[in-house]
Amino acid sequence: MKTRKNKFIVVSIIPTGIRCSVGGYIGDATLATNKIAAACDYVITNPNAVNAGAFNFKEKNVLYVEGAAIDNFFEKKIDLLLPQKNRIGIILEKIDDKIGLRYALKAIEAFQKVVGIDIVSVEYIPPTAKIIRLQEGQFCADIPNIDPIFHAAQKLLNKGADALAISTHIPIRKKFLRQYQRGLMPNPYGLLEALLSHTITHIFNVPTAHAPILTKSDLDTYLFDSFSSDARSAFENISGTYIGSVLLGLDNAPRLVSKGKGEIKLNDIAAVVLPSNCLRSIPAAIALECGIPIIEVSENKNIFDRLPTIRGKNILRVRTYEDAVEKISDLRANLT
Amino acid sequence: MRGIQTKKIKLTGFPPSATLAAVFRRAKEVLKQDNKIPIRMILLDHKKGCANLLVSFIYENEKK
């Protein structure tokens, strides 16, 4: 096994669907993430931070790790292997809207033939009921039957997939889409996407990410009807399908392996970067407990800003992501 | 048949010194006792020995 001693590794998380001012749209945290990456050997981040519709502009040393896998990594249930080429299996919801489905299939073909993404196979699942509602200021979701997704995932793994991309349609009311695009509401897709990818990660422990399939009606909204929207959502205006960003991310995502068998372990993490008042998840809680420095970026405002501030000895508050990079450089200098 | 559900839960009886990690561990235990597999947990608030979380979990649906 390769050793990764003396590597300087930071985790930067931008939670999905909480209206972050940096990373609350699609791919709009890429610049910030790449800046952090420039100061580290590796930065581990969640797909939401860098998925940009049809595109993904993350740097090579940005490690694309699904949120539930990041939780498992902090809980010391798994380690990570350094990036290598993955064979990707795709779970595609066979929606009735033919245009949306054809766009997705064409994108898969393009990324396979032009970019060189290694696709094992596409497994179709029937249209799946999804219930989306607003609760506690964020979108929440229920999915009454996820068994077809599990069966499709198992088939793809049996065929040799190392990573799974899942692409389903998420029915969002146009009213919510418009409010989201004007910066008035969290990303309505985010939570359901997170739940689907978290579920597959929990059950199968492989790199996973979700991309929405857009219907003709969604395409009309995004491609032709929303040029007055917030600039941070611009990739939505120019992406006919979103699976490209996920395929590019999973292409070299770190593999998830049992504790003790990986090249990157929790003990290797030098710092965790989080948006303002976002110490509300398992990685932050464990970083607080273990004394891993947490860099909280106050410019990255979100719906949690209205909640009480969480305090801790190892929290370093900075204003911008540039300040966070400076702090990371200081931490690195102090180690050498 | 398995499904995914999201709901708010309230946990009580924490000592004032309880860490956030302890709150999450307790939430996981509570869900597991109910045969639910937690897949996402967000802490909403935590004060005076009481914590509110928004949790999503896999559950076994009895409807076939």
Shortest Cα distance, chain A CAs vs residue B1, angstroms: 6
Residue B64 has pLDDT above 80, yes or no: no
Nearest neighbour of B40 by CB, restricted to A144, A146, A195: A195
Residues A331 and A314 in one domain: yes
Provide the phi-psi class of A291: left if phi over 0, else alpha when psi is between -120 and 50, else beta.
left
Coil, helix or strand at residue A224: helix
Contact A202 B45 (CB under 8 A): no
- Helix count and strand count (H, E) for chain A: 12, 14
Q: pLDDT tens digit string along B40-62?
A: 999 998 888 899 999 999 999 77
State the pLDDT confidence band at A226, using cuts at 50, 70 and 90: low
How many residues would you count in chain A?
A: 336
Number of domains in chain A: 2
Residues A47 and A108 in one domain: no
State the pLDDT confidence band at A43, using cuts at 50, 70 and 90: very high
Q: pLDDT tens digit string along A260-304?
A: 999 999 999 999 999 999 999 999 999 999 999 999 999 999 999
Enter the ipTM: 0.93
In this prediction, residues A38-58 reach a mean pLDDT of: 96
Residues A298 and A183 in one domain: no
Shortest Cα distance, chain A CAs vs residue B43, angstroms: 5
Which chain B residues are closer than 8 Å to A289 by Cβ? 19-21
Type of residue found at A101: L
Contact A143 B3 (CB under 8 A): yes
Would you say A16 and A67 are in contact if contact means Cβ atoms under 8 Å apart? yes
Instruction: Determine which of A21-30, A130-139, A219-228, A308-317 has the lowest per-residue pLDDT on average.
Output: A219-228
pLDDT value of position A5: 62
CATH number of the domain residue A215 falls in: 3.40.50
Residues A58 and A107 in one domain: no
The CA R_g of chain A, rounded to the nearest whole Å, is 19
B4 shares contact with chain A (CB less than 8 Å): yes
Which pTM value belongs to this model? 0.95
Shortest Cα distance, chain A CAs vs residue B14, angstroms: 15
Shortest Cα distance, chain B CAs vs residue A152, angstroms: 14
In this prediction, residues B4-31 reach a mean pLDDT of: 93
Contact B6 A202 (CB under 8 A): no
Residues A317 and A278 in one domain: yes
pLDDT value of position B38: 96
In this prediction, residues A230-259 reach a mean pLDDT of: 91
The H or E element spanning position A173 is none
φ, ψ (nearest 5 deg) of residue B28? -60, -45
Nearest neighbour of B40 by CB, restricted to A143, A198, A289: A198
Range of the domain at A190: 87-251
A80 - beta bridge partners?
Answer: A256, A264
Would you say A234 and A224 are in contact if contact means Cβ atoms under 8 Å apart? no
Helical residues (DSSP H) of chain A, grouped into ranges:
30-38, 47-50, 67-74, 98-110, 147-158, 174-181, 190-204, 216-219, 234-237, 243-251, 282-290, 321-335
User: CA A46 to CA A23: how far, in whole Å?
Assistant: 11
Q: pLDDT tens digit string along A109-152?
A: 999 999 999 999 999 999 999 998 888 778 888 999 999 999 99
Residues A114 and A222 in one domain: yes
In a domain, A1, yes or no: no
Residue A4 has pLDDT above 50, yes or no: no
B2 shares contact with chain A (CB less than 8 Å): yes
Would you say A219 and A134 are in contact if contact means Cβ atoms under 8 Å apart? no
First to last CA, chain A: 25
* DSSP secondary structure string for all residues of B8-56: EEEEE---TT--HHHHHHHHHHHHHHTT-EEEEEEEEEEETTEEEEEEE
Instruction: Determine which of A153-157, A237-241, A310-314 has the lowest per-residue pLDDT on average.
Output: A237-241
Cβ-proximal residues to A76 (8 Å cutoff; 6+ apart), any chain = A259, A265, A266
Residue spans per domain, chain B: 2-60
Residues A144 and A205 in one domain: yes
Residues A225 and A309 in one domain: no
Nearest 5 degrees, angle CA A274-CA A248-CA A86? 105
The count of other CB atoms within 10 Å of the CB of residue A198 is: 23
Nearest neighbour of A285 by CB, restricted to B3, B4, B24: B24
State the pLDDT confidence band at A224, using cuts at 50, 70 and 90: low
In this prediction, residues A290-319 reach a mean pLDDT of: 94
